[in-house]
Every structure is written in structure tokens, then in C-alpha cells.
Amino acid sequence: MSADGEPLVELTGITKTYAGIHALSDVGLTIRPGEAVSLAGENGSGKSTLIKVLSGVEQPDRGTIRIDGETHPHMSPRQAAAAGIMVIFQDFSLFPNLSVAENIAVSAELASGARVYNAARAHGTARRALARVGAELDLQARVETLSVAHKQLVAICRALAADARLIIMDEPTTALTEREVRTLLGIIRRLKADGVAVLFVSHKLAEVLEVCEHVVVLRNGRKVADGPAAEFDAASLSRHMTGRDIAQTSPAPLDEAAPLLLEVEGLTKQGAFEDVSFSLRAGEVLGVSGLLGSGRTSLAKALFGLVRPEAGLIRLRGQVIPAGDPIAAAASGIGYVPEDRLTEGLFLTQSILHNVAIGRTEAHTRLGVLAGHSAWAEAMDWLRRLSVKVPDPQAPVRSLSGGNQQRVVLARWLARTPSLLVLNGPSVGVDVGSKAEIHGIIADLAARGLGVIVISDDLPELLATCHRILVMVDGRVVDDIAAAAISEAELAHRLAS
Ligand SMILES: Nc1ncnc2c1ncn2[C@@H]1O[C@H](COP(=O)(O)OP(=O)(O)OP(=O)(O)O)[C@@H](O)[C@H]1O
Ligand SMILES: [Mg+2]
């Protein structure tokens, strides 16, 4: 895992434009065998585009790609894969109804030119790949039955079985729990020790610094920093990414005399959560935290009617909200931003403006006439307030970077001016600068009397946004903590116990 030796990959002067937008300008990148390189940068800075160029998915307008010292003027995904450059895509591109062994061995089987699938050989291939990362999985299990973390493991093993020399992961930890992230970081260490290089994109700066030896920072498509990870810390990294210092937010002071907004009593859903009771005042930000399987996501969904509890009551301003009815929940002023916004929240081929303004036609209809431009103006206003980088609001949402797509969903809900907003992982996949902005927006909304529930396992985020934090363990609320009275270490301790 030495950082010297011949480079595996050398990109120089890579430039890529999309319809006049400079996604990448003159970017260079060197990766050596056994080295983990982190690609850092704000949303829309060009990270995914650089990965697409490196893996042959997109052709650069200018620049050279050298692999093992050999120049590839036009590299296709097949050529990249043949050179051992493999991307773990966010959807993992697995075959859901095939087994673990079949998924891991598929590329190796195809490459061997074997006409007949040989189960014993496939099992051997799969077992060897799993052993290389020190993991165990049931080889016969169908991939669709696996957790996200295990699917990711299968995708990594498939790359290994196909002789990967560089594994590229674009935000691999966003859908993982804290514990699964630890496991993944351990796997990355083993890959490096095994001589496999890793290119890693993540907005979580602590894990970037922990596992990578080299950091490259992009800003607006240009490389602004490049050096050993040891020369950076979270603050300097975020300064390079944003070009400024990020102020730590804290929640606005709470008005103790504010009226009760939400009352939850004895809410129970078998196998998910049990006898959950709490209340929330107007202007209050309440955090809900807990490990995987603690019931936090089911509880969040129940508040918005997406999960029907068997017992208990939800009251908003004293009115009982019918259980298990998202339309009634939305009509009574509850907004819900889902955890998986990329699949649950967006109409990818529709325009950015349309995605924000959707569901707002009623509010903008006067005497039966839709005032299209007031709906648009409102949507534009929210896009601006969330600093969504939109060159053209009529462009399809698909053309935005991942983090900016997420802000579009947030903008849509904010445009509906709910009185209670349930945010499930409000800044997952969002860069440090925008994260601070989103925290500022939460404080702002609360100061204007909105109730906000933040579901998150990002402890600094909970402490920066919440007045109170509920801790869930095994479906029960075991703690109700005043956020101002607790340190991050103490909160982590209570979550783990
Ligand atoms: N297919 C496309 N058509 C038009 N513009 C695109 C396309 N793909 C990317 N872009 C633009 O290129 C720029 C870089 O996007 P990219 O996806 O590389 O950012 P990123 O650094 O991966 O951001 P994030 O952290 O949000 O995922 C953005 O301005 C984006 O809108
Ligand atoms: Mg991206």
C-alpha cells in the first residue's frame, strides 16, 4: 500500500462541458495502486462527472487518460473495466432475483468464456472474493432479500472477482447506518492492503480523512487542492470546498409559551415502535435518533400516514389526524421529506420548476384560473433560498447533481408552507456548506412558528438544529434530552446503550 510506485491512473487536463456549463475545467488526478483517494467538493462541483470520465461513461472534451502509462484517447466503459477500473453504482446494478454467488461471479463467468454456468465454480469465485474483504454472506441468498450494506458488499465482491484494480465509490455511505459505515471503512482498508486502489466520494469529512491517504478538492469544476490527507482537517477541507469558513449553527431560542402543535399519545405499531408519546410546540425543533432497527423511520412515516399504527393518537393543534392517511396528513399541514429522496421524491424527467411547483396548482388558482407565473415565482423563490445551482429552471431535474436534486424536494415541501415538517435525514448527500444552509433554514422556519421533526443519525446535525432529542431503542423512546445540555460524546453513548 505504498504511495510511491508507478501510477495506475493519470488524468491530465480533463475538461467537460454540458450545454455551456463547465462541469470540469482542466482537472488532473493521479491514483496509485493500493491508495485510497478522496474526491471532495460541494454539490455540483464535478465529482460524479470526473468519475464518469474515468470509467469511460462520458468522453471528455479535452484532456488525456493514462492507465498503466498507456494513453486512452477514447475510453469506453468496457475498456475501463478491462483495465480493472470498476464503479460501484449507487443502485449497485445487481440482479435482484439471482443469488449472492451468481451476482458476484457473473462477470468472471462471462469473461472466462464458459458456455455453461458452473455453480461450484461460481461459489468458489464468490467465496474467494468475500474472503478478500473478510466478510461472510449466505451464498445462496437472493440479492433482493439483502440489506443495502450487504448489496453493496456483493457489488464490491463482484468487482474484485472481475479483477478490479481501482474501485470507485460515489457516496457509498449515504444509505448506511453508523455501524455499517465502520464495516465499509474496514473493507476499504483491506482492499488497500491487497493492492486495490479506491476512489471515494463522500460528504462526511471525518470518514474521508480517516480512510484516504490523498485528497483532491474540486470547486466549480476546477481542482483547488490536492495533497496528502494528513495535511487536511475537516475545517480546512470545507474551506477549500466552499471558499469560506462554515459557521456552526445552533437552534433559535425556544418560546416556552408557544402553543402546543403536535401531541402523540401511545403510538404503537407491532414490530416497529411501541407506546410512543411526545409533544411539540410551535417553533420547536425535535430530533429523533436511534440506530438501525430502532423504529425511527417507521415513526416518522407514521406521523405522515405512510405507516398505519395499530394504537395511539396523533393530534395537530388539538385535531386528531386520521391514521395511515398521507393525504389527510398533508391536508392538515404536515409535510414529509423522505429519506430516499432520489427514488421517492422526484420526477426525474420533469423540469426543476415543475418538481417544486407540483401540488401547488390549487393554491395558485384564483376563480378557476391557474396563475402559472405566481406558482413559478414561488418555486423560483424557494430554489434561490435553498441555493439550488440551477443554470436553467426548465431543465430536467435529472441534469442536476445529486445534492441539488435533494434540495429540489426540500424546496417543494417548503413551498407548501406546512405547519409541521418531518425531515427524514435532511442533509443526506448534501455538501458541508449547503448542510449549514439547510440547518439555517430549519432554524428560520422554527423561528417563524413551524414545528420541525428531524430524523437523523448525524449527531452534530441533531445538536446544531434541535431543541430536544428523543432517543429510540428497539421501538421505544428511552430518552428525551434537552440538546443544549448534552455533548456529542454523551449523545453517542446514550444511543449505543
Ligand atoms: N447530463 C448532464 N446534463 C447537463 N448538466 C449536467 C449533466 N451532468 C452533470 N451536469 C452538471 O455538471 C455539474 C457537475 O455535476 P456533478 O454531478 O459532477 O456534481 P457532483 O460534484 O457529483 O455533485 P453532488 O455532490 O451533488 O453529487 C453540475 O453543474 C451539473 O448540473
Ligand atoms: Mg455526484
Examine residue 249 and state whether it is found in any structural domain, yes or no: no
Q: How far is the CA of 202 from the centre of ligand 2 (A)?
A: 9
Is it the case that residue 260 has pLDDT exceeding 80? Answer: yes
Looking at per-residue confidence, does 408 or 67 come out higher? 67
Q: pLDDT value at position 427?
A: 79
Q: pLDDT value at position 344?
A: 62
> Is residue 443 within a helix (H) or strand (E), and if so which, with residue range?
helix 432-447
Q: Judge contact between 151 and 104, C-beta under 8 A.
A: no
Starting at the earlier edge strand, list the strands of the sheet with 21-31.
Answer: 21-31, 9-18, 62-67, 70-71
The CATH number of the domain where 108 resides is what?
3.40.50.300
Provide mean pLDDT across the span 453-473: 91
Buried b (16+ CB within 10 A) or exposed e, 335-369: bbbbbebbeebbeeeebbbbbbbbebeeebeeeee
Q: pLDDT value at position 310?
A: 96
Residue 280 sits in the same domain as residue 226: no
114-169 tens-digit pLDDT: 667 788 889 999 999 999 999 999 999 999 999 888 999 999 999 999 999 999 99
Q: Which residue CA neighbors atom 25 of ligand 1 most closely?
A: 43
218-255 tens-digit pLDDT: 998 999 999 999 999 888 888 888 877 666 777 878 88
Residue 130 sits in the same domain as residue 211: yes
| pLDDT tier at 497, thresholds 50, 70, 90 | low
Helices vs. strands in the chain: H and E counts, helices first: 17, 22
Backbone angles phi, psi at 325, to 5 degrees: -135, 90
Residue 397 sits in the same domain as residue 444: yes
| pLDDT tier at 413, thresholds 50, 70, 90 | confident
Q: How far is the CA of 66 from the centre of ligand 1 (A)?
A: 23
Cell of 103: 451476482
Pocket test for ligand 1, best of 17, 25, 49 (most atoms within 8 A of CB): 49
Note down the domain range covering 411.
Answer: 260-496
70-101 tens-digit pLDDT: 999 889 999 999 999 999 987 788 999 999 99
Residue 425's alpha-carbon distances to 230, 339, 421, 429, in angstroms, are: 30, 6, 12, 9
Q: How many domains does the chain have?
A: 2
| pLDDT tier at 406, thresholds 50, 70, 90 | confident
Do the bridges between strand 197-201 and strand 36-41 make them parallel or antiparallel, or are there none, so unpaired?
Answer: parallel
Residue 226 sits in the same domain as residue 285: no
Residue 308 sits in the same domain as residue 281: yes
Query: Ligand 1: which residues within 6 Å by Cβ?
Result: 18-19, 21, 23, 41, 43-49, 389, 399-404, 431
| Separation between Cα atoms, residue 64 and residue 58, nearest integer Å | 13
Examine residue 253 and state whether it is found in any structural domain, yes or no: no
Indicate which ligand has the atom closest to the C-alpha of 45: 1
Backbone angles phi, psi at 37, to 5 degrees: -115, 135
Q: pLDDT value at position 384?
A: 86
Q: What amino acid is encoded at 164 in this protein? A: A
Examine residue 349 and state whether it is found in any structural domain, yes or no: yes
Examine residue 137 and state whether it is found in any structural domain, yes or no: yes
Residue 284 sits in the same domain as residue 225: no
Examine residue 42 and state whether it is found in any structural domain, yes or no: yes
Residue 356 sits in the same domain as residue 236: no
Q: Say which residues have a Cβ less than 8 Å from residue 490's Cβ, sequence separation at least 6.
A: none
Is it the case that residue 111 has pLDDT exceeding 50? Answer: yes
Q: Say which residues have a Cβ less than 8 Å from residue 477's Cβ, sequence separation at least 6.
A: 276, 277, 278, 470, 471
| pLDDT tier at 1, thresholds 50, 70, 90 | very low
E-only strand ranges, 207-270: 214-219, 222-228, 260-269
Q: pLDDT value at position 13?
A: 96
Q: pLDDT value at position 3?
A: 46
Q: Which residue CA neighbors atom 24 of ligand 1 most closely?
A: 43
Residue 212 sits in the same domain as residue 274: no
The last residue of a domain, from among 216, 242, 268 = 242
